[in-house]
Structure formats: structure tokens, C-alpha cells
Amino acid sequence: MQKDVLIVGGGISGITVGNELAQSGISTLLIERESALGGLAASFCCKASESCNQCFACVVDKRVSEIRSGSSFSVLTGTELTGLTGEPGAYTVSLKKGTERMDLKISAIVIAAGVDPFDASRKAEYGYGRFKNVITARDLDEMLRLRGKLFRPSDGKLPGTVAFFQCVGSRDESIGNLYCSQVCCAYALRLIKAIRYQYPEIKAAFLYMDIQPAGASFGQFLNSCRQDNGIRLIRSLPSKVYHSPLSDSLKVRLTDPVKGGVVEELFDLIVLSVGMVLRKESNSLARLFGLNFNEEGFFAPPPAQTGIFVAGACSGPKDIDRSIIHSKSIACAVRQYLKGRS
Amino acid sequence: MTRIGIFIDTMQGSIPAAFREKIVSAIRGLPEIAFAVEEEDLASPHALARMAERLKAGEADRFLILGGSPKIYETSFHKFGYAFSVNPYLFTVANLREQALRAMANEEDAIDKAQKILIKAIHMASSSGPIEARSLPLKPEALVIGGGMVGITVAQALATFGIHVTLVEKGKCLGGKAEELRWFYNRPEEAEIWLENKIIQVEKTSNITILTQSVLKHLDGHLGRFRARIVGSDEKETMLSPSAIVVSTGFASLKGIRGIYNHEGVTTLPQIEKLLWGTNKGSIEWGGKKVETVVYVLDEVNEDIKVDSINAIKQSLVLQEHLGCQVAICCKDVKVAADGMERLYRRARERGVLFFKYDEPPKLSTVKGQIQVDVKDTAAIHKEDEWLVSILPDLVVLSEAFVPNPETESLCRTLGLHLGNRGFLMEDNPQLLRVRSNRRGIFVAGGCRFPQEVSETLIEAKAVAQEVIALLSKGAYAYDLSVAEVDPAKCAVCYTCPRLCPHSAITVEKYAEKNTYAPPGTGEGLKWGAARVDPVACYGCGICVGECPAKAITLHHLTDKQIYAQMGLME
């Protein structure tokens, strides 16, 4: 079998690159390790309140369903990459789908391996994994998408107060992640907005270090959050979460900039805004392709003329919007590379 | 009379036989039914093959599928590559499984509902008609408006793929706002040399025509057939007919002019960028005096743009490390949401740059001719420890407010684009994937949409290039006439529809001979035009159809008759 381009990873970035290349008649094969396409972004719920909050979740759903209803490029799910030989422009890759093995000749490879959410249990002071009512923003997102409602994991009841902890696994020297994940501020605020719209009785607190802007309409969106009486934006990251054995509520220790001093406050539910880290499995990809990592631990751009490209969030934290734009720009680079060779 | 062929999909038995029998018996014997066949699984390749045979036989001219969601059939038709010999718009799907069988609590209601759906679907099918598919040839020609960093990048990328680009720049030379930049926060190259090389490259490329000191004065036409009038400095007119247009006119910046801004000890970020780049003496001077203390006050403008934060941190490192200055940065939030920025911020802190995150803006006053900055130290845990810090800096650096170019609004009108609520081009709409506009064939990139950091803007530029290449590389745009059409005889030229069309697809043209109007007293029939929907530019949303006072507009894929049929208002 021969193809022009192999895309590794069927998340939104890989799908976008595939779509763009297929549109201009470049034969493309996309492989995905999981059984379904969509990657991390496919588990996100719509975060609209009165109006759209630009979370881009629907764009992912649309793309995935378009591909399901017949795409113009080949897709192999449940497939892994096991080997690479050859030289720039004339690679041979070995693929494994279940027990089946195949070899493929290709000219260019796009790696869109994606990211994983940070493992929140590594921040032991927040008690993720030990306290039922401490969840990650991704858990909350999946809860809203799959169960369609918000509830406390301990008793299934609607929480009265929810605290969002920002920068869990980002901008944190103690765990070695010295970078900003760039998406979590807007992501958590959108989640808060969506929750507040559905359950106006819930009071939310957003505990942050610095609010990072995200795109053209973010300023307006942030103002609407500031004007909402049910949302408190507190510039302070909590130091510890305590669990009381008598109730399921959680006690949070933090410096209150308004009161001025250390306070302990009760919350019914705690949501950790976990940052992004490169997928663990990406190490084997890096070895296979001879990819380097940048200081942040994401893939550094491979040297030009190797015919290997890196697209999407595995090259540095990106939201859906920026992943799509980045993938399109990579598609452009791939076309330029292929054109230069022919 | 139309003859309807019915395919009943049992959906692998999920629509029970008794149920099917009861509903089909209601229509059996109707004169318009040509045949009714049952299939175990209509979405399977074998069933589709049998279906194709049936269609070829020509017993019927409209087709109705009874079964599940239309999506299933669309998907399977597509997936198995069935090029049926009949027009796809002659198919109607009645979703009996989801809308009747599963929606109703008991069987009786379900049968009742299913029969109603069926009757409506038959009316729907008989009022459907074929819709023609067309193709519009696209010349490989593009117009790029704005010769800044984005415009140059797009033009260069398009030219590589054999697309002829006309690059229109209102200024004397290319470069735009990027000329203010001296070095990058994340790259070792010098920004000036980098930009110069890019400009030289573009000027050398044979496929790119550069028109400087020129502006777009007028645009009409639609995707593939735009007609643009460009006017140069000497009133020289150039007429172009590009297939696609990229708008990258950038943004403007406003320097504060009142009060403290006039003080000689106050400067702005771009000015200090120039100053810092020129020095290699180990110190800098401002107003004849050596600069030792510098205070940046950020976030009073551009609060949701990270560019100033990045530039301030980048500059503060040079001041602190090489020029022996003490720097303090006052801001609301330290914006580090860019690759590698957190490390740069850490380094600045380690080198002694002070950061004050304020809630209330710092107070700037003059003391004996020198500026004093009073800012609260909010880093203290206890309220009583929040001292007011007074700094007497040699230099205060403020941001310039990023605003839309003054001509953005008129450009918006010329191009028929939407103006965002901040005055930049386009509102954020996820469905347009950031770089598309409300009009097919027009793309928006860079600072005219929203000011961004250089490397992100360049990614956006390449994404736009990809969009244009994908559109033009096929040489033709395939579409079908499932769009709105105006009946010129009925059109009263009231201009309701062109105003309402969100995609600027409607213009009033003199194409309708029939549409005449005689003003009283003249006795002569004056020829008027009529509104015309361009089928390529139309998205088929139907807003104009609903709003037209003369009911002169029809949506081909959803006519009034079909809507009435679906509402059960037809006999």
C-alpha cells in the first residue's frame, strides 16, 4: 500500500489535517490508537449559557460525524505504529491493527498525538482520588456530557457551592511543569457559566493566579463573569483541602485577598482545572521519529525537509480553536513540502 | 401526477411487522403510490443495490423511505458510494422509528402518529422536485488586502501553489505594524532582518503583483467572480476579478495624549523597543539622563490581549540584565499564555524584576517634575501589610491601546462583512473556524480580526493560505441549487432582503426585464431591477424567504408547499 501522507492521531488536529489534505487530492491515511475518532476534545460538552461561549465542542462533534458518514481519506482505528524505516520523502512505516500487520510507503508523516490532562492525584494536597467530591474539570465535562446533569459524586445531590482551582499541573515548579496550559482559564470560566445558566442557585468560586485571555470575544465574556453575582473571582490558589468525616463538604484553606488573611471555607464540590501534558505514549513516538522535546516537554518542531510534521496540542498547549488553526497551517506546510519534492 | 415509490426499512426488525402493516394499510391503494417494497436493512450494500435497480426501472419519479433517521440513509448512500441515477432531492425520509415508535408511550398512539407522519411525508414527497447540481470554474487568482506580516505570508504561500496574488497595501511600503518589532521573545533572529527578507522574497516572486499606496474602493460579485476596483495614489484605477479575497489590514494603536501622557518621562512600549535595540553601551539615556528605574503600567488598555505583557517582560529582561536598570511591572494579570512565556516570566522575577498585580490602577503623579507611581503591594497575605509602594522612576512605560484601523468600518461595508462589537472585523463564530468570514470566498486573518502575538498570527496566516489553496486548487466550486431564488416579476425592490442577508448574497440588479414600475404621471414604464440571490454565495438559510413582504423568494429545497405539507396543512 502506498500513500502520500500518514497522520498519527485521530483527534481534532489529525482530523483537520486529513480533511485539508484530502480536499486537495493528496492521498492520506489517518491512524488512531483508540477505537473511535475525536480524541480528548470529543468528550467535551457544549458550554453555552444564554448564547454561545465559543468553546468549539460542537465543531469537533461535527467533524467526527462528517468522517463517520464517509470521509475522503482513509481512516484506521485501533491501529498502532510499530516501526519506521527509510529516509526523508520515502519512509516505510509498519502498522499493527489487532493481530494484523502491514507496511506502508509514505512521503510525509504528520504527528498529532495530542495531550493528556495532568494527573491531578500528583497534587496530593488537593486530595484528588481520596476525596470523592474533588473532581477534575474533565470529569465535570464528561459528567455534563454523558449524564446531562451536575451532581456530587458522594451523594448524587446538587452541590450548592463549587470551587474551581486553577493551574493544577501548570505553572508549577513543584511538579516540574513550568508552563501555562493556556486554555484552562477560559475553559473553567465557560464551565462555570454553563453551570450557572443551568443551575442559577449554584454559587461558584474561581481561584486563580492570573487570568489568561483567549481570543477575540474573551474580554466581553470575562466581563459578563465579573458582573455575575454568583461567581467570585479570587486571586489566590488554595494550599490545602480537608475532608470532614461528618459531612461530604470540603474545607479549603486559602488566602482571601478581600478579607486579607488566611481563611478556611467550605465547598460542596471542588473542580480542579488540570493542565495539559504530553501523552505518556508519545515517548515511543519521539524515539521512533527522532523527535526532540522543547523546554516545556512538548514536541519541538522537527527540522525542515525531514517530511515529519507535528500538529496540534502535542507541540504545545492549545485549545480546540487554536489546534484547528495550527493543523491547517501544518497542512499548508505539508503541501509545500510535497510540492517541493515533485 | 407524481408517482411515489416507497421503501419500507424494517431496520433489522426494530420496526415490528404488525406496526408496519397497520400504517402501510392506510395508504395502500392511493393512486400516487407506484410501489411499496420492504427491506430488512436498507442501509446495507445489498439493499442499496436492489434499490438502485428499482430506481433504474423508472416506475416512480419520487421516492419515500420509511424507517429511521435521515442521517442513516445519507450516511450509507455516501459510504457505499451509490451514485443513484436520480436526483437526491427526490428522496424523502419519514422517521417512523424515532418520531413515532419510540416517541409514543403506547402502540395505539404510535400507530396514529406514524400514519400522520406518513401522510405528511407523501405530500412532502409529491411536492419535492429535482435540484440541479452545478459547478463554477475558479481561476487561480486571489486578492490580498493589507501588506503587513500576514498579507505577505499569505501571498507568498499562495504564490507557491501557482495562484496569482495581487497584494494591495495602503502605505508606501510593505511591512505594516511588524516594523515596530525589533526582536522576538521566542526566536533568536532579529525581527527587522526577518521582515526585510520576507519583503524581498515577496517582491521577487513573479506570481505576486504589489500595489502600494492603493486602496479597495469598490467590490461586487461573489465567490469566483468578484470584481474589485483598486485606486492608487495617482487616482490610477485597477480592475481585478479575483476568485477569493483575504483581508489582513491589521490594527492601529492609540497613544494616550492627555495629562500624564504628555510628561517627558512617559513613553510607550513600541518606542522603548526601538530605544533598547539601538544600544550596546551598557546603559540607556532618556532626556539626557541615565535611566536607572523603569516602571511599566500595563492592562489599563488591552486587558484581554497578551501582546503587551509579552513585550514588557521581554524588554524588562534586557533592561535588568544588560542595562543596569531596576524594572517594576504593574499589571492586572501576568499573561503567560504563550509557548515559553512562563519560563521568561520566571527568569524576569529571578533577575529582580518586580511585579505588582493591581486591582486598582496605580496612581501616577508628578513630584518636583518627576513622575511618582503609587501602587499597592498586593502580594502580602494580611491586609494590614499591604503597603502603598511609591516609586520615582526615570521612565514610565505605558501601553498603546490596540484599536481597529479607522477605515475598518468602511472596508466592512465595501466587502459586505460583519463588524464585531469591538469594531474589529467579524465576530467570533466557531462555525466559521476563525478565519472564514460571513461571505464565501472572503477570509479574514491577523490583527484586523484580533491583535495577537506574532507567532500565533503567522500560524493564522498559514491557515488562511491553506483555506484559499483548498478552495482554488480544485479549479471549480461544486454546489447545487438548494438555495433561495427571487421571482423578479414579484420583487418590489424594497431592499429588505439585501439588508437582512447575513452572507451578503443578495444584490439588486437590472436583470429582470419584466419588473417595471411606472411612477404616476410619467405614463412610461421605467425599468427597475430586482433582487437577485447569488446561488454560490447563498447558504440556504431562508431568512429572506420568511421576510420578503411580496413572497417573491422561494427556497428550492424547502418550498412553502413542502413546509405546509410537513405541518399537515395540505389536503
Which pLDDT belongs to residue B512? 65
CA distances (Å), origin B553, targets B423, B424, B438:
33, 33, 21
Q: Is the pTM of this model over 0.90?
A: yes
d(Cα B414, Cα B245) in Å, to the nearest integer? Answer: 13
Q: Does pLDDT of A342 surpass 80?
A: no
Q: ∠ CA A314-A320-A326 to the nearest 5 degrees?
A: 60
For residue B429, the chain A residues in CB contact (below 8 A) are 52
Q: Which three cell numbers stand for residue B13?
A: 426488525
Residue A322 pLDDT: 95
Whole-number pLDDT of residue B48 = 87
Which pLDDT tens digit goes with each residue over B418-427? 998 889 998 8
Q: Which residues in B169-268 belong to E strands, given as ranges? A: 208-211, 215-220, 227-231, 237-240, 244-247, 251-254, 266-268
Instruction: Tell me whether residues A324 and B304 touch, CB distance under 8 A.
Output: no
pLDDT band at A128 (very low <50, low <70, confident <90, very high): very high
Structural domains for chain B: 4-131 (3.40.50), 141-253+403-477 (3.50.50.60), 256-399 (3.50.50.60), 482-555 (3.30.70.20)
Q: Which residues of B touch A325 (CB under 8 A)?
A: 433-435, 459-460, 463
CA distance B157 to chain A (A): 8
Q: Which long-range contacts (CB under 8 A, 24 or more apart) does B358-366 make?
A: B358/B330, B358/B331, B358/B332, B359/B332, B361/B297, B361/B300, B362/B297, B362/B330, B364/B260, B364/B297, B364/B396, B365/B260, B366/B260, B366/B263
Chain centroid, CA B52 distance in Å:
40
Nearest chain A residue to B435, by CA: A325
Which residue from B75, B338, B450 is facing A216, i.e. has the nearest CB?
B450
Question: Closest to B305 (Cβ–Cβ): which among A59, A213, A328?
Answer: A213
Min Cα distance B494 → chain A (Å) is 32
Suggest the residue from A180, A225, A315 to mutate for an interface test with chain B (most B CBs closer than 10 A).
Answer: A180
Is the Cβ of B75 closer than 8 Å to some Cβ of chain A? yes
Per-residue pLDDT of chain B (571 residues; tens, 9 = 90+): 789 999 999 888 888 888 888 888 878 778 888 888 888 888 888 888 888 888 888 888 899 999 988 888 887 777 776 667 788 889 999 999 999 988 888 888 999 899 889 989 999 998 888 999 999 999 999 999 999 999 999 999 999 999 999 999 999 999 988 888 999 998 888 999 999 999 999 999 999 999 999 999 999 999 999 999 999 988 899 999 999 999 999 999 998 777 788 888 999 999 999 888 877 778 898 888 999 999 999 998 898 999 999 999 999 999 999 999 999 999 999 999 999 999 999 999 999 999 999 988 999 999 988 999 999 888 887 878 888 999 999 999 999 999 999 999 999 999 999 998 889 998 888 888 889 999 999 999 999 999 999 999 999 999 999 999 999 988 999 999 999 999 988 888 899 999 999 999 999 887 766 666 666 666 565 666 889 999 999 999 999 999 999 999 999 999 999 999 888 886 5
Are residues B495 and B513 in contact, defined by beta-carbon separation less than 8 angstroms? no
The kind and range of the H/E element at A103 are: strand A100-106
User: B74 contacts in A (CB within 8 Å)?
Assistant: 69
Distance of residue A153 Cα from the nearest chain B Cα, in angstroms: 31
Grid cell at residue B377:
503591594
Residue A1: predicted pLDDT? 66
State the residue for C-alpha cell 513540502: A337
CATH topology of domain A117-276: FAD/NAD(P)-binding domain (3.50.50)
Residues in A closer than 8 angstroms to B337, CB to CB, are 180, 182, 185, 212-214
Q: How far apart are CA A152 and CA B30, in angstroms?
A: 57
Contacts of A297 (CB under 8 A, 6+ apart): A177, A179, A277, A278
Please answer yes or no on whether B459 and A325 come within 8 Å at the CB atom: yes
* DSSP structural state of residue A244: -
Tens-digit pLDDT profile for residues A269-290: 999 999 999 998 889 999 999 9
Strands B516-517 and B506-509: what pairing? unpaired
B339 touches A: beta carbon within 8 Å: yes
* Residues of chain A found within 8 Å of residue B343, distances taken between Cβ atoms: 178-179, 295-296
| Domain residue extents for chain A | 5-114+279-341, 117-276
Per-residue pLDDT tens digits for A154-190: 999 999 999 999 999 999 999 999 999 999 999 999 9
Residues in chain B with CB shorter than 8 Å from the CB of A326 are 459, 463
Instruction: With CB atoms and an 8 Å threshold, state whether B430 touches A211.
Output: no
pLDDT, tens digit, 9 for 90 and up, residues A206-238: 999 999 998 888 999 999 999 999 999 999 999
**Rounded CA gap, A77 and A243, in Å?**
43
Contact B343 A259 (CB under 8 A): no
Q: What is the pLDDT of residue B517?
A: 61
CATH architecture of A5-114+279-341: 3-Layer(bba) Sandwich (3.50)
C-alpha cell at B346: 520566571
State chain A's mean pLDDT as an integer: 92
Q: Do A210 and B433 touch (CB under 8 A)?
A: no
* Chain A touched by B162 (CB under 8 Å): no
Evaluate whether A5-114+279-341 and A117-276 have a shared fold: yes
